[in-house]
C-alpha cells in the first residue's frame, strides 16, 4: 500500500491544492493582530454576513470541490475503504475551511463568515461524492490503466507538476510563461527581517544596493524566457514518457495548454479585448 500511495498523483495534487487554498484564504499575510475587544472563545463562533456576494459565494463553493475529490481519490488509491475515504474527503476540507475562517479574524484585510465556511464545506462534500462516483464507475481505474501505458512507473510527482503548470500560468507574470519571479519578493522579505538589526547592517546594505529591474527585457532575452518556460514542462514530460509518438502529443498538449492558460489569464486581468495581448511578435516565434 505504501508504494501505491506514492505512485498516486492524486496525493501530491491534493497536498498542493490544500496549500493553494490556505494561501488564497490568508493572502496577503500582513497586519496580524488580535481582534480588538474579542475573547478567544468568541473568535471560535462564526457569524452569517449581512451582505450578498454572488461571485465570492460561487468561488468559495467551487474552490473546494477539487480538494474533496482529490482527497477521496488519493485515499482510495492508497487502499482505504470507501467510508473512511469519503469521511476524509468531507471532513478535512470542512476542518481546513473552519481553521481558515477563524484565522482570517487576525488579518485586517480579510473577513470571516459562517456562509463562507458552509459553502467551502459543501464544495468539499460535493467533490468527495463526485470522486466516489468516478471511482465507482471505474473511471479512476481507466485513468490508471492509461497512465501505465503512457508513463513510466513512479511518475506521480512529475504528473502533479504537469497538472499544476497551467494553474501557475493563470497568475500574471512579467514575461509570458515566465514562472518563478520570486527573487525580488524574497529580497523584500529579507530587507524587512533585517531592518534595524545591528549585526546585519552589511547584509542589509548589500541587499538594498541591488538594483530593481524596471525596464522591459531586451527582446532576445524575453524570447529566451518564453522558450525556457515552455521547454521546462516538455522536459518534465519527457522524463516520464518513453521515446516515440507520445512525446510529440505531449509537446502539442503543452503548447495548447500554455497558450490557453496565458490567454485566460490576460482575459481575466485586462478584459476580453486584450486577451491575446501577450502574444507579441517576439513571443509567437519563441513558442514555435
Q: At what angle do helices 245-270 and 219-238 cross, to 10 degrees?
A: 130
Residue ranges of the alpha helices (H) in the chain?
A: 2-7, 10-26, 40-43, 54-77, 82-104, 114-136, 139-150, 156-169, 183-194, 201-208, 219-238, 245-270, 283-287
pTM reported for the whole predicted model: 0.72
The answer to whether the CB of 186 falls within 8 A of the CB of 271 is no
For the chain, 288 residues long, give each residue's pLDDT as a single digit of tens.
444 444 678 888 899 889 989 988 888 888 888 888 788 888 898 999 888 788 788 889 998 999 999 999 999 988 899 999 999 999 999 999 999 999 999 998 888 899 999 999 999 999 999 999 999 898 888 888 888 888 888 888 888 889 889 888 887 777 888 887 677 778 888 888 888 777 877 887 888 877 666 566 778 888 898 999 999 999 999 999 988 899 999 999 999 999 999 998 888 778 888 888 888 888 889 988
Short-list 53, 55, 60, 41, CA closest to 105: 41
Amino acid at each position: 500500500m505504501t508504494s501505491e500511495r506514492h505512485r498516486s498523483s492524486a496525493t501530491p495534487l491534493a497536498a498542493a491544492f490544500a496549500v493553494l487554498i490556505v494561501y488564497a484564504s490568508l493572502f496577503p499575510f500582513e497586519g496580524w493582530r488580535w481582534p480588538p475587544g474579542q475573547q478567544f472563545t468568541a473568535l471560535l463562533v462564526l457569524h452569517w454576513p449581512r451582505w450578498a456576494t454572488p461571485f465570492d459565494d460561487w468561488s468559495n463553493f467551487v474552490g473546494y470541490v477539487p480538494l474533496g475529490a482529490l482527497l477521496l481519490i488519493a485515499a482510495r488509491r492508497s487502499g482505504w475503504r470507501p467510508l473512511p475515504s469519503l469521511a476524509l474527503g468531507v471532513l478535512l476540507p470542512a476542518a481546513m475551511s473552519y481553521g481558515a475562517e477563524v484565522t482570517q479574524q487576525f488579518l485586517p484585510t480579510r473577513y470571516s463568515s459562517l456562509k463562507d465556511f458552509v459553502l467551502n464545506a459543501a464544495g468539499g462534500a460535493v467533490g468527495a461524492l463526485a470522486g466516489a462516483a468516478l471511482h465507482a464507475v471505474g473511471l479512476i481505474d481507466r485513468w490508471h490503466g492509461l497512465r501505465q501505458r503512457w508513463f513510466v512507473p513512479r511518475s506521480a510527482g512529475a504528473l502533479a507538476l504537469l497538472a499544476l503548470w497551467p494553474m501557475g500560468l493563470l497568475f500574471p507574470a512579467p514575461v509570458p510563461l515566465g514562472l518563478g519571479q520570486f527573487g525580488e519578493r524574497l529580497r523584500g522579505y529579507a530587507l524587512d527581517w533585517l531592518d534595524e538589526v545591528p549585526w546585519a547592517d552589511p547584509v542589509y546594505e548589500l541587499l538594498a544596493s541591488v538594483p530593481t529591474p524596471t525596464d522591459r527585457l531586451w527582446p532576445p532575452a524575453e524570447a529566451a524566457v518564453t522558450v525556457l518556460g515552455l521547454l521546462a514542462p516538455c522536459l518534465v514530460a519527457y522524463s516520464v514518457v518513453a521515446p516515440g509518438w507520445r512525446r510529440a502529443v505531449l509537446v502539442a498538449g503543452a503548447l495548447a495548454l500554455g497558450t490557453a492558460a496565458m490567454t485566460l489569464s490576460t482575459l481575466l486581468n485586462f478584459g476580453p479585448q486584450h486577451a491575446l495581448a501577450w502574444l507579441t511578435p517576439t513571443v509567437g516565434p519563441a513558442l514555435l
